[in-house]
Structures are given as structure tokens and as C-alpha cells.
Amino acid sequence: MRFRRWTILALAVALAAPCAGWAAGGEDPVVFDVNIRLLGVDVGVGYRGFRLLPGVETTIWTYLGGGYEWLTYYRDPSGALLSPGSLAAAGALSGFQPVFTRIEGAWALGIDQGLSWNPRTRTNLVEAFVFYRGRLDSNQVAPGQLLYASSLPDRTGVFLNTILTGFGFNDVLGDTRHKLRNGVSAELSGEWGPRFFFNTLDGDSDFLRLNATLRWFLPLFDLAPDRPVNLLSIYLAEFASLDYATAFTAPVPLYIRQTFGGRYAQQPIGLGLQVRGVDPGAYDTNLKAVNNLELRFNLPAIVLPDMVPGAVLYWDIGYYDQVAESGVPSPPPWGIVTTTGIGVTLDFLDLATGAAYLTWRLDGPNANGSALGLDIEFGLHF
């Protein structure tokens, strides 16, 4: 069983409720962006009390967060990706553990500047952004762990400073009554972590990451569209992302290889985990792509109008390729991973969503030899 962004529901509600009130006001000069984890939280505070351009919003953001996390590393001591079943009882690496713990802190400062307005969603339609981001990771490694046996320069941790810039497009409109979403959002970004930007104080980082992300939602059916309370509604949802990082004088940091880029304060872990049912953090190559396709069912509300259970049918597919990077075994690894499954969800007062998925890996077993799994997430997958 794996947990992603899972926390005590009461804590989620206590923190999310005031944030939702601030963000929903439309005219409030202060907005919040909160991401809660099992033992940690990331909090963003945005100020939009002025406008650099007429007719669009300007938001100055500051982020601060941290936590204690259980993470994984799925490469052998030579740096090669683990083969299916290698961590099973009779596998070649059965004595090693992929799990390690990390104490982390992260901070950011930046600006979102609208370039055109969307009257349908009452948000910026197109915006540009630029952020400074920093993080300090302390990996708690010990003998017997795969990460401990590696030769990565950031094996025990990293002090990382980057500049992120790009453009975003948002035309997604949500229906708070029937929990439908409709529209498209997209983002293009580049993240630069040069060595001279204090990136050799702990670890050794010198890289450029490029990312493209697309989200798409299409309502298919609403049994009672005029009812104030949902009865049955169905919509399609899709997420796609392409992520490439190239190293200069030092290897691409593990944190960058194990995540997808973009503006998220806590970036999605991938390729494993962004493809549900795959070992989390596995296939951590510098080129990766993913597509998540879901058919989402919102079922009749229970007890309260905004307590809505749901069901999900999904298919995930991902591609990984360690291209144009030195220091990895030859030939460079590449391949495709794909899973399918079903899930159940619960939307609680538009403040928190829990999701559990029964997963089946289609291209072969995981490192522990199993193709079946259970993933539990705090929030929808995307």
C-alpha cells in the first residue's frame, strides 16, 4: 500500500477552510495555496492588491514549506534501473531496501502576471510567471538501502537553487454543485539550476529542465442538471506531461529526475507514481512523459450536498529514456510502463478529496515481483 499526500482529514479541513474562503472572494488582495502532506505542509501566500497591466491580475507569491517524507530509490549500486522482480524474495537485490526518509525544507518567491483575461472563469486566461525556488534536502540513508549504495553526489542530500519561468493558459471551469470540470489548461516552463547559484554547498547540481503540461476535461452526462444536489454526473479527464532535464558539469539531481516540472510547490513524483501502480519514484530518467486518462463518475451526494462520493476508471501510460547524460550504464535505459485500474473517491465539502485505486500493471511486475497494488492519495490524481 502506498500513500500520496495523505493526512488526517480534520487537519486538512482546519487548514483548507480559511484558505478556500480567501481564494474564493475574487476581490480579496490575499490568496492562499496550501498543500498538506502526511508529516509536512507547503503554504503559499499571494498578494494581488495591485495590477501591472490593466484588465488582468498580478499576483506576488511567497512559499514556505517542509516535511518528513518516506521516499524510494529504484536503481542498483551501478546506477542501472531495477529489473522486474529484482527486490522479490528470490531476486538479485532482495537484501536491499528502496525506501529512505528525507527531511526537507523548501521556499520560493515569484510573480504570476496576467496577459489576457478569461471572463468565463474570471481568472487570467494567459499569464507569464517567474520564480526563484530553493530547497534543502537531508536524506536519512543507512547501509542496506539502495540510495546509500549509490554514488550520486546528492546521495545524502542537496541544497538546490533554481530560476523557473514560463507561460500558463487556463480555461477550466468547475461546477461546484455537480463536481464537473470543463475546459483545457496548459503550461510551458523552463527551470535553470546553474552550478554557480550556490548549488555545490551540498550535492552538485548544474542543469536545465524543460516541461510541457496539459490538462483537459469534458463533461459527458448529467442525470439531473437542474437539481441543486448531484445525482449522477460523468466526465472525461486527461493529464499529459513531457519533462526533459539536461546536465552540464554535474549530474541531474535526483529530486529533478524523480519529479515533473512546473509551478507546483510540491511537484508530482514520477514517472513511477504519476503512472499509478508503478514503484513510486522509479524510472527516474532525465527524459520522461506521461498520459493519465480517466472516466470519472460523481455519485449521489450523501448527508450533505457537498459530500459527494465517486468512482474512477483509469489508464496510465509513461515513457522513460536516459538520453544524452554521462555517468549511466550503457546502453542508456528506455521503455514504456502502463497500468489500468479502478478507484473510489470522496469529495468532502470542496475542501478535501480522498482517493483509493486498485491498480494493475500491464507491462510486467514491479521490483517486488507483483503487478497488483493499492494506491491511496489525498486529492484527485490531477
Q: Which residues pair with 111 in a beta bridge?
A: 60, 130
The Cα 2–Cα 71 span in angstroms is 10
At 254, give phi and psi (nearest 5°). -60, -40
pLDDT at res. 285: 94
> Is the confidence at residue 30, as pLDDT, over 80?
yes
Average pLDDT, the chain: 89
- Dump pLDDT digits (tens) for 161-218: 999 999 999 999 998 889 999 999 999 999 999 999 999 999 899 999 999 999 999 9
Mean pLDDT, residues 101-128: 97
- Dump pLDDT digits (tens) for 4-26: 433 333 333 333 333 333 333 34
The contacts found for 173-176 with CB under 8 angstroms, 24 or more apart, are 173/120, 173/121, 176/306, 176/350
The Cα 321–Cα 316 span in angstroms is 17
Residues 161, 378, 255, CA angle at the centre, nearest 5°? 25
> Is the confidence at residue 37, as pLDDT, over 90?
no
Mean pLDDT, residues 299-310: 89
Burial 300-312 (b: 16+ CB within 10 A, else e): ebeeeebebbbeb
> Is the confidence at residue 107, as pLDDT, over 60?
yes
* pLDDT band at residue 3 under the 50/70/90 scheme: very low
For residues 92 and 86, the answer to whether their CB atoms sit within 8 Å is yes
pLDDT at res. 218: 98
- Report which of residues 23 and 265 the model is more confident about: 265
Domains of the chain: 2-378 (2.40.160.50)
- Give, as one character, the DSSP assignment of residue 281: T
Cut 0.85: pTM above it: yes
Which residue, among 21, 74, 60, 28, has the nearest Cα to 284 in the 3D structure? 74
- Dump pLDDT digits (tens) for 46-74: 999 999 999 999 999 999 999 999 999 99
Percent of the chain with pLDDT over 90: 73
Which residue, among 164, 174, 138, has the nearest Cα to 63 in the 3D structure? 164
**Cell numbers standing for residue 211:** 516541461
* pLDDT band at residue 305 under the 50/70/90 scheme: confident
* pLDDT band at residue 251 under the 50/70/90 scheme: confident
pLDDT at res. 329: 62
End-to-end CA gap in the chain: 20
